[in-house]
Amino acid sequence: MSARDERTLEDKRVVETFLKHRTEESFAPLFAVFCVRIQRFFLLHGLATHIAEDLSQEVFLKVYRKANELRDADRFCFFMLARR
- Residue 46 in this model has a pLDDT that exceeds 80: yes
Domain hosting 66: range is: 3-82
Provide the pLDDT for residue 67.
80
Angle between helices 3-21 and 24-44 (to 10 degrees): 130
Domain CATH code at residue 10: 1.10.1740
Mean pLDDT of the chain: 85
- Tell whether pTM > 0.85: no
Q: What is the pLDDT of residues 47-57, one digit of tens each?
A: 999 999 999 99
Is there a contact between 64 and 48 (Cβ–Cβ < 8 Å)? no
Counting the structural domains of the chain, the total is 1
State mean pLDDT over 68-78. 73
How many whole angstroms separate alpha carbon 13 and alpha carbon 18?
A: 9
